[in-house]
Structure 1
Amino acid sequence: MRLGAFDLSPTPQPRLERVRGGPACPESVVLVLHGGRAVSHEPAGRRRRLAYLRMLPFALMLGNAGLTVYVLRYRYRGWNAPAMDALLDARWALGEIGRRHPGAPTALLGHSMGGRAALRAAGASNVVAVCALAPWLDGSDPVEQLAERSVLIAHGDQERWTDPRESYAYALRAKQVTERTCRFEVPGDGHAMVRRPAEWSSLARGFLLGELGIEPEDRRICEAMRRQAPDGLAVRAG
């Protein structure tokens, strides 16, 4: 029998990569979730992939601000419904963070598929806030897990890959569960977040550092959260 008849490749495992910087004994943690594909069982381990590289500047920015930051490396590139592999990996990562840093409040920062995983994983006991950038949503995602969490969603008005209308509809439902929900529209930018990088970074930084008590809360974000729906869910950024 040919050796090739056997599948001897190891089963992929999720991995947490700690970003340089941040305190040795953190008071708060950020978990960064990068994007992926709707369907793919290709291992997600390559660091050269754009979905991974796109979130590194955010992770480094937050680490330099004094937070302990982890980037999750999924087992697979795809969401792979109904398995929702990225969500399973995000839940594993939150459990691992809770084991490493017991009692540390944790915020989630995700882009595209990672934004979807972040919103769905928000029910973990150590999660206090979720920032979803251009999240991939389709109307089937629940909101009950967001209770008592703070939520910021941002979408570019030139988006072509994920639907801003879906994130707006999701924000409307989320606002019924947690009043601390806001949504921003980044003018002139699309899914890759390359035309207005400073605006995306400013929103994520202001929200996460404010919610985790590292810096005073961002006034424009606070104002958006104070508004009743639908106000505060289509705020122009910049």
Structure 2
Amino acid sequence: MIPPPRDRAEPSATDGTAHPPPYRPVRVLHRPTAPAAAVLLLHGGRADGLAPPSPVNLPGWRMRPVAWAIHRHLRAENVLLAAVRYRHRGWNGEHAHAAQDAREALAELTGVAGVTDMSERVDVAGPADMAERVDVAGSAGGASGIPVVLVGHSMGGRAALSVAGAPGVRGVVALAPWCPLDEPVAHLSGRTVFLLHDPADRVTKAAGSWAFGERARDAGAHVHTVEMPAGGHTMLRGARNWHRLTAQAVATILGAAPPPPGPQATATGESA
């Protein structure tokens, strides 16, 4: 697979002037013919910023290898991969723009997934030939009829955790997430939440993730916290370890891999 091209302005049919394409909240990275599950990625941003993400959008590119790691680990062509498009770089206080865009992206997955037969039963295959039967007509599925896992980094982690109560969301993998002390957690009851954070992160605080995890666990969420040995906020040092653990967490949430041995762990392994 190759990354899709950046959005380009299209000329007007009447005056030849270039106009930006209409906003779509979802960028599809891998579209199966008959998706059995979906993984929606949410990249990082800023606390404040009304400007749109730049055309280069480095936080967005940082999530591409995460997406491909998930795809390789699941070894399942029937898992849809998509990313949220933000209209603004920042969270912007009470506007919570990234969370708004995430909600719209979840709603658009209905059309993207293209599920028509809601009585169909499908397999989500994972490593070691493990599989789970997913009833897409039941509570596991949302508007698109399929289970969804949200994977967010930094501000995207906050957005993913904020909208995880939506129908069909099975769980969240939050990477170095931004977790304010007063962030709501009641909506996470019954969801599986993985929080991966390096204590050396100087942008967002691992202590905030651990405190959020405790409150979410008390609210009924199935929480797993993973202390990463390297990577800081950008997840560049030890990147393969971040990618591998993220992919394993997604597989666990989808039932394609066994759960980790306990709710808390310290990640070890490669540091490249």
Q: What CA distance in whole angstroms lies between the structure 2 residues aligned with 1:123 and 1:177? A: 12
Contact 2:199–2:205 (CA under 8 A) maintained in structure 1: no
Measured in 2, the distance between the counterparts of 1:112 and 1:157 equals 14
Aligned with 2:49 (options 40, 43, 66): 40
The residue number in structure 1 matching 2:58 is 50
Aligned residues: 216
TM-score by length of 1: 0.85
Structure 1 counterpart of 2:70, which letter?
L
| 2:267 aligned residue | 237
Aligned residue number for residue 262 of structure 2: 224
Q: How far has the Cα of 1:170 moved from its partner?
A: 0.3
Q: Which residue of the other structure, out of 55, 80, 85, is the alignment partner of 2:92? A: 80
1:10 to partner: Cα distance: 7.1
Q: SS of the residue aligned with 1:108?
A: strand
Greater shift, 25-34 or 95-104, is seen at 95-104
Contact 1:94 1:126 in 2 (8 A): no
What is the Cα deviation at residue 12 of structure 1?
Answer: 7.8
Match of 2:26 among 2, 11, 16: 16
Distance in 1 (alpha carbons) for counterparts of 2:52 and 2:64: 19
Q: What does residue 162 of structure 2 align with? A: 120
SS of residue in 2 equivalent to 1:31: strand
Could you tell me which runs of 5 or more consecutive residues in structure 2 were left unpaired when the two chains were aligned: 1-18, 114-143
Tell me whether 1:71 sits opposite 2:83 in the alignment: yes
- The question of 1:27 aligning with 2:65 is answered no
Aligned with 2:193 (options 151, 157, 171): 151
TM-score after normalising by structure 2: 0.75
Residue equivalent to 1:184: 226
Q: Secondary structure at the match of 1:58?
A: helix
Cα separation, partners in 2 of 1:42 and 1:206, compared to 1, 3 Å: same
Q: Give CA deviations for 1:6-28 in whole Å, capped at 9, x if unaligned.
A: xxx979834311113x5311110
Determine the C-alpha separation between the residues in 2 that align with 1:172 and 1:19: 33
CA contact (8 A) 1:134 1:164 kept: yes
Unaligned runs of 5+ in 1: 1-8, 226-231
Check whether the contact 1:122–1:129 (CA below 8 A) recurs between aligned residues: yes
The alignment yields a C-alpha RMSD, in angstroms, of 1.9
CA distance in 2, matches of 1:188, 1:216: 25
Q: How does 1:83-232 map to 2 (within 5 A)?
A: 83-101=95-113, 102-213=144-255, 215-218=256-259, 221=260, 223-225=261-263, 232=264
3-state DSSP class of the match of 2:225?
strand
Q: How many percent identity over aligned positions?
A: 36
